[in-house]
């Protein structure tokens, strides 16, 4: 009972009072790969993450050694790391997250396994045009949130004092990894309901390189938004598949019509170029 009360109070404080929580370096032994280090964030509102070989094998369905992959909305890097292992030291995984608090942990994870990964992390939002934004959250510990051009936002009453940068992805990549772009094979997007807008903002990039897309269908989106997202990707020449988890043995179900987007409340899917 005492432990339950303690955890409850810690979570309540994390929602109301800002403080920086430390990280704990965990090591996961993976068959054929070896020891993989990962920095878990000891924020009471965040569940500890684990990484295993099944996560790596999931991404190896789509990318191989030497490929380039993007992780937009990477959070602390829970999926960035297995994605980068799949791409290998000779590949490149570029991770973006606009949350400055979360980015500190993402940046740490980007550098923990230099012998088997090549990760570049950037504290940017992906936007239609280059601009500066406020970062808001409903929680004082900034576990999650969103950007806004205004100092008040529906994302929450807590706002960080320093603005963050929104960048146009194609321009950013042309300036930073132009020679590697022909090897772009995968773009993963997880932006709390803004995935469709991200895809619309990078349509030219997608049309040029035809990467596999992994995205989230946010549960709070209106049905019409889910239908629009399906039609957008179908119109770009992609076929969609629901998957139950980022594991090699995950259940996979084809999404054949826009109505199929309503079969699950909140889910992830991948889209293959046809």
Supply the pTM of this predicted model.
0.95
265 phi and psi, to 5 degrees?
Answer: -70, -50
Residue 113 in contact with residue 25, Cβ under 8 Å? no
Of the listed ranges 63-72, 77-86, 129-138, the least confidently predicted one is 129-138
Question: Does residue 62 have a pLDDT over 90?
Answer: yes
Question: Does residue 2 have a pLDDT over 90?
Answer: no
Q: Of 161, 219, 7, 183, which is closest to residue 91 (Cα–Cα)?
A: 183
The tens digit of pLDDT for each residue in 240-254 reads 999 999 999 999 999
pLDDT score, position 155: 74
Q: From 3.30.70.1150, 1.10.1270.20, 3.40.50.150, 3.40.50.720, which CATH number describes the 2-273 domain?
A: 3.40.50.150
* Domain extents in the chain: 2-273
Question: Does residue 8 have a pLDDT over 80?
Answer: no
Share of the chain above pLDDT 70, in %: 98
For residues 107-136, give the mean pLDDT: 96
The secondary structure of 3-38 as a DSSP string is: HHHHHHHHHHHHHHS-----EEEEEEEETTTEEEEE
Question: Does residue 4 have a pLDDT over 80?
Answer: no
């Amino acid at each position: 009972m005492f432990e339950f009360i303690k955890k409850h109070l810690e979570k309540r404080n994390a929602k109301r009072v800002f403080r920086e929580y430390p990280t704990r370096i965990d090591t996961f032994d993976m068959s054929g790969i070896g020891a993989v280090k990962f920095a878990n964030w000891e924020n009471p509102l965040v569940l500890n993450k684990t990484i295993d070989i099944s996560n790596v094998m999931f991404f190896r369905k789509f990318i191989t050694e030497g490929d380039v992959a993007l992780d937009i909305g990477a959070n602390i890097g829970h999926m960035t790391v297995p994605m980068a292992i799949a791409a290998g030291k000779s590949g490149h995984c570029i991770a973006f997250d606009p949350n400055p608090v979360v980015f500190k942990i993402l940046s740490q994870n980007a550098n923990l396994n230099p012998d088997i990964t090549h990760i570049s992390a950037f504290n940017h939002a992906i936007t239609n045009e280059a601009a500066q934004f406020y970062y808001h959250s409903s929680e004082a510990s900034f576990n999650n949130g969103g950007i806004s051009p205004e100092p008040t936002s529906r994302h929450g009453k807590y706002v960080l004092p320093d603005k963050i940068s929104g960048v146009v992805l194609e321009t950013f990549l042309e300036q930073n990894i132009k020679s590697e772009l022909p090897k772009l094979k995968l773009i993963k997007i997880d932006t709390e309901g803004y995935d469709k807008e991200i895809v619309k903002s990078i349509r030219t990039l997608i049309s040029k390189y035809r990467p596999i897309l992994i995205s989230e269908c946010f549960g709070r989106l209106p049905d019409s938004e889910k239908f629009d997202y399906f039609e957008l990707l179908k119109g770009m020449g992609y076929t969609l598949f629901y998957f139950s988890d980022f594991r090699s043995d995950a259940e996979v179900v084809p999404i054949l019509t826009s109505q199929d987007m309503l079969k699950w409340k909140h889910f992830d899917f991948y889209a293959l170029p046809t």
